[in-house]
Structure formats: C-alpha cells, structure tokens
Amino acid sequence: MIVEKRLQFKCAITAIKPVEGRRVAIVDVDNTVRFFKLGPVELLDGFKTSIQQDPHLLNGSDVSRDGRFVAFAVKKEGVAVFSGIHKRLLYRFKRHDGDVESLRISDRHEYLATGGQDGKTFLWSLVTGRMIASLPHHADFVTAIDFSPNGQWIATGSFDRKVLVTNISSLSQSFRLRGHGGAINTIKFISDHRLVAADKSGEIVVWDYFNSKVVKRLKKMLDEVTSFCTTPDDRFLFAADKNGLVSLYDLNTYEMLSLRYLSYSKSIKKIAYAKSGNYLIVGLENGEVTFNSPLKESAKMEEAIDSDDLVEAYRLAEENPLLRYSSAYIRLEALWNDACEEAVKLLEEGRRNEARERLEPFSAESSKRLLTQQLLNDYREFERFKTAVESRKYQLAYSLAAQYPMLKHNRYYARMEQEWEAVFSQAKKIILQNGGEERVKELFKPFRGISGKSVLIQTLLAEKEIYKLFMKLVVKKDFKGAIELAKRYPAIRELKEYRKIERMAEAITQKAKMELERGNYAETARLASRLIEFPDQRELAEELKEEANLYASAMRYFAEKNYEAIYRMLEQYPYLEETQIVKNLEEAWQKVVKRAEVSASKGDVAGLKNLFDPFIHLSQKRVKIISLFKQAYLEQLENISEREPGSLAPALRNYLDLFGMDDELDAWLRDHGLSDMGEEIEAKEIGTIDPIGLPETIV
C-alpha cells in the first residue's frame, strides 16, 4: 500500500472528515482542528480550543461537510460548536441529563444531533443555535449517530443494542432495528436504503431499514469496531478495529475481501475515504495519521505489466484486493486468457514444455498456478480424447472430458458438441412425425450411454407426447404452461426452446426496469403484465407493476396538489422518496421548515402559523409542526425567565396545559437549574394538539 503522507500529532485522533474544496479536517482529543489540502497533502489552516473532550468517546467530535462548523462533546459541559472559518465559539448546548456520548453534523439542512447518557437524542439547528426536536428514546447511552445522504433520515445506536432510524422531515416515522449482540459502536448509511452498524463484539450487520430486516451479517472482525468508511460509490466498506486492523468488504457480494487490508501497531480511532485524491485516511490513538493511496498502485500494476513483471503485478493484487476491480487487473486477466488459448494450441501439437513456459509468468497467482497444473495434467490424455472424437467414439470422449475437465476447452470438444446440437435438433423434428422413433434412435447411436445426453434422449423417446405438448405450448406462446410443464419434467429445461423462453423473460425484465428508471410508468406496467406470464418471474413482475402504479399515482396526486395523499403513500412505501416528485415536494417543505426554525428561535408563534398554514392539515407533518411550536414557546419562556421572572410560574403552567411534561420542557428546566418547577404531568399525544388553536403567547 502506498502511504503518500504520514503525520504525527501529540494525542489521539477523534475525527477525520473530508470537506469541500479538496480538503480534509482532522481533530484530535486536545480539540486541535487542522485543515489539510489534498493532492498533495499540505496543512492549510487550523485552531485550538481550551475545551476538554472525553478521550474514551468514539463519536465525540465532528466537522460539517463545508467546514463551517466544528462540534465537540465536552466532558460534563454538553456540546460546544465552533466556527471552522472564524475559529470562535458559536454555541454551547447542555440539555442532556448526563454527558453527551455522541454527536453528528448533517451534511444537509445544517443540523447537529447529540446523543446522551440519558438515552435521548436532541436535534439542533446550526443556523439559529436552538434545539428543534427530541427524537425517539433509547434505554441506554446513545453511542453512535449518522444522517442519511439525502438528509431525510437519522440513525442512532445505543448500549441497548438497538438502532433507531427516524424520518427528520416529519418526525412521525421511525424504524427500530433489533439484532445486535453488543452495544452499537458505529453506524453508516449506504445506498439502496441500507445501513451498516457495528457493535462492541466486532459484529457488522447490513440492514434494510425500510423493512427493519437484516440483509447480511458480515464476517466478524477480531476486535471492537471503531470506525467505518466507504468508497464514493458505496461498493467497498473499510472497517477499523481497536486492534489496529482495517478490513475490506465488498458491499455487492457482502464478502470480506481482506481481514488485514491495513495493519497498525496501535488502536485505530477514525478512518475516512476522501474522494479528492482517493485517499484512505487512518487516525490512531497515538496521534499518527496516514494518507494511504490504494488506487495509485494501479499505476504500479500497469508498469509491472508493461515490463512483463507479472509476478509483481499479482503480488500487488494479492496485497490490495481493490486492484482486482481496476482496469489494470482486467488487462492482466486478458493476458492470462490469451496465454491459455496459446497454451492449449501448443498442447494439442504436443509441445508440452513450450505450453508450460507460456503459462509460467502467471504462476505467482495461486489460482492461476492450480489452473496451469490442471491444464498440463489433463492434456496428457489429449491424444486419446482426440482419437475418440475423430472416430466418433463419443462415449469415451465425453468420459475423458468429465474426468479431465480442461479437455472441454478445445476445438475437438466444441466440434463434438456442435454435432450433438445438430443431431438433437434434427431428432426433435423427426420425433413429431409418425413412426419417427426408429430414425431418432439411429441418429442418437453415437451419443448413447453419455451422462447428461441420455436423460434428454430418453425424454424425447419415452415422453414423446410430453415433448409434443411442450412444443405446442411454445408455438402458442403459452409460456406459463411451458414453464409449469418443465417443472414436472426437468429434462425439458435442457431444450434450446426452453432456454430461449428464459432469455425472453430476462430481456423483458431488463426492459421493464429501464423504463421504470426513465419514468415511463405505463410502459413499465405493460411489460410487467407480460412478465407475469412467466411463473418464475411472477413475484418480480408484480413488484414492478406495483412500483410503476405507485409512481403514476404520485404523479397524478402531485398534479392535483393532493400532497396528503403523496405523504400517505410515502409512509407506506418509503422508497418513493427517491422519485423526483417527492424530492421537489420535500425541497419546498424544507424551505418552509428553515424559515419556521428562525421564527421559532424568536418565539414568533404567529409567524409559525402563517408559514405552516398550507401544511397544517397534513397529518404526516403534524409532529414536526408541533415540535417547532414547542420551541417557540420555550424561547418565550427563555425571555420571561430573563426579563419577568415573576411571570415564569404561570407561563410554565400554560405550557404544561398545552403539551404536558415533555422532553423539550424537561431539558429546558434542567438546563436552567429549574427542575423543581416541573410537574409529573404526562406529555400529550401529538394528535390531540390543534396547532390552529394554539395561543400566540405562553403568558
């Protein structure tokens, strides 16, 4: 692995975050923030604070994607947020009952989420500096947080071994993921509505969070997982552990490609993948940071291939499995295929030593070495095989090919197979004629007693009527009947006509998926209806048809401005959030929410009512709307406590009458040392609160 840059700081690394402008931010436990330029790696800027972090936290600091905000969990003092540009303190947040255990800054909407020892997660606006929501609770410390790339969802993990996924846009929809055996250490959203979570036991689970089910349990690491990152396309996952190992996983196949992709002598605290320059950046507990360049070795592989040093090329691929997906490796495999073809020709001519020499450069790779050995061993029988084919002793030829599989890769075997196809095709026509059985038997004489062929021959002869029925179904394009018949008589699946049906079903499937992506929902539904004719594809066809109909309905509702219907659909089918219609609708909603957050930070209830007037009737947005009204009243309480402390008690009574004793008020009272003024009144159900009837002032 090429290490382009190695840095050494005085203390443990707590955050590594690629930021806009080809930069990366690195934070250490001393709360020193440094910004580096990428390609080449050079220090640009930085600052240091006097705030003390808890060195044991895995997720106690973060930097916003644009570098404007830096947040720290401060021991016994909540959270401090600094300006990454002006290097000054912006906000201090302290509303958890106990220390903050984890935090995360959203890449969108400028939100900060804080998870506490009280099992609560609070959402803060980095624009107004005010709390805007309390999220669903955990039963223990909240130890890991992540936001989805589109900013719609937040995931929280806890010592209670659960992951909660909540819709930020509405606050009314959440999923509870159960299945971990230990406390959750780190969480990451990835593509296709998946989420990866790791726990203290080293177990890594890939979740389908929309359906609350496990997609795959990845092969465990040797120790507690401390950090995740992925390549920009979410194809590969890098997982770091407390033992100093970075493991590599393929998120398409869910295989562990390398347990010891990178190895360090110290515990790893954070890893990150920077798209700019393709750096895998690793930060250790002793303050060391390495900028690794996994893809730059592709150039070294190209050089090795150009200089015919294939041993070096395969060594690089062995040490860095990522290279097996590079253009250089594709070129290397093409060279291997060419060498095999030449070696087969040499072996056919009896030039065994020359064939061995031709394949020798590839022997550095273990699988190629085994294939070379098998090829050389199997071709010891080539002359016998060739003689058997030329004398049409096919039973012996096929027996040799079964015993020595490499013999299937030559022109004699191909010629024998071509003759079989021609004979079988002719036999299928003859068998349909009256009295054709004897002629068919004569045709099949050279192929009698051959495993694989005998089944087809017997089916054709013994089940002539079945074959006739199958061909009639094919001619009538009754694919459902043909496939059902093949299930009862498996030999039919070997027929060319059956394979043609399979290819047809695959072509319709691909076409339907393509039309769905293009937004041609009527055409998708039509193709899905055709696909239902193929029993094996029925489930997929119904899914495609349902999806197409849903998208078409969403388009109709959007045109009718029936937004509540769209949001009802979205609750039932969350994947609709990826459609352009829902994206446009959410963009409009988020613009209103941003303005509403500002109004709430000023205690402007009248302004909130005006902003939310078009959305008040949307039950799906009720929780979010009420949450911001609560923040407006809390801001009014803040002003009253400062200017008219004598009016605070009746104002609190009014708040309790409106909402009951909720998380928001409980946190506010504790933050102001007024916990004794709270009352044990159950928080009211959101559905029972009428936003329109709320008073403009809490007094």
- pLDDT at residue number 407: 93
Give the pLDDT of residue 434: 67
User: Does residue 494 surpass a pLDDT of 80?
Assistant: no
**pLDDT tens readout for residues 176-195:** 999 998 999 999 999 999 99
CB distance 189 to 147 below 8 Å: yes
Q: How far is CA 336 from CA 123, 308, 328, in A?
A: 56, 12, 13
User: Quick check: 94 pLDDT over 70?
Assistant: yes
Per residue in 330-340, pLDDT (tens digit) is 999 999 999 99
Band (119; pLDDT cuts 50, 70, 90): very high
- DSSP secondary structure string for all residues of 501-520: HHHHHHHHHHHHHHHHHHT-
Domain regions of the chain by residue span: 50-275, 301-408, 410-462, 465-560, 581-693
Compute, in degrees rounded to 10, the torsion defined by CA atoms 420, 422, 426, 431.
20
In Å, what is the CA distance from 34 to each residue of 9, 21, 92, 513? 11, 14, 21, 46
Is pLDDT at 467 greater than 80 in this prediction? no
Amino acid identity of residue 355, one-letter, is A
42-48, strands of its sheet edge to edge = 13-19, 23-28, 32-37, 42-48
Angle between helices 382-390 and 411-430 (to 10 degrees): 30
Please tell me the predicted confidence (pLDDT) of residue 439: 84
> How many whole angstroms separate alpha carbon 607 and alpha carbon 422?
82
Chain-wide mean pLDDT for the chain?
91
Question: Is-above-0.75 flag for pTM?
Answer: yes
Q: Which residues does 693 contact at the CB level (< 8 Å), separation at least 6?
A: none
Tokens linked to 572? 């039932």
Instruction: Give yes or no for residue 516 having a pLDDT over 90.
Output: no
Residue 492 has pLDDT above 80, yes or no: no
Average pLDDT over residues 299-318: 90
Write the secondary structure of 544-577 as one string of H (helix), E (strand) and C (coil): HHHHHHHHHHHHHHHHCCCHHHHHHHHHHCHHHH
- Which tens digits make up the pLDDT trace of 53-79? 888 899 999 999 999 999 999 988 899
The answer to whether 72 touches 83, Cβ cutoff 8 Å, is no
Residue type, 433: Q
* pLDDT score recorded for residue 222: 87
The answer to whether residue 432 scores a pLDDT higher than 70 is no
Does residue 85 carry a pLDDT above 90?
Answer: yes
Above pLDDT 70, what percent of the chain? Answer: 99
pLDDT band at 134 (very low <50, low <70, confident <90, very high): very high
Q: Is the pLDDT of residue 435 over 80?
A: no
Assess whether pLDDT exceeds 90 at residue 241.
yes
- Residue 160, pLDDT above cutoff 90: yes
- What's the half-sphere exposure (Cβ side, CA atoms, 13 Å) at 470? 27
Cis status of the peptide bond prior to 55, with omega within 30 of 0: no
Q: What is the pLDDT of residue 59?
A: 94
Pairing label, strands 245-250, 255-263: antiparallel
Which band of pLDDT confidence, cut at 50, 70 and 90, is reported for residue 147?
A: very high
Report pLDDT for 342.
Answer: 94
In this predicted structure, what is the pLDDT of residue 12?
Answer: 93
Task: Name the more confident of 172 and 244.
Answer: 244
Predicted local distance difference test score (pLDDT) of residue 14: 95
Mean pLDDT along residues 492-496: 78
The 10s digit of each residue's pLDDT in 548-605 is: 998 889 889 988 889 889 988 888 888 888 888 888 898 999 999 999 999 999 999 9
Indicate left, alpha or beta for 332 from its phi (over 0: left) and psi (-120 to 50: alpha): alpha
Buried residues in 26-49 as b, exposed as e (16+ CB within 10 A): bbbbbbbbbbbbbeebeeeeebeb
Domain 50-275 CATH (choose: 1.20.120.530, 3.40.50.2300, 2.60.120.10, 2.130.10.10): 2.130.10.10
Phi, psi of 222 (to 5 degrees): -80, -20
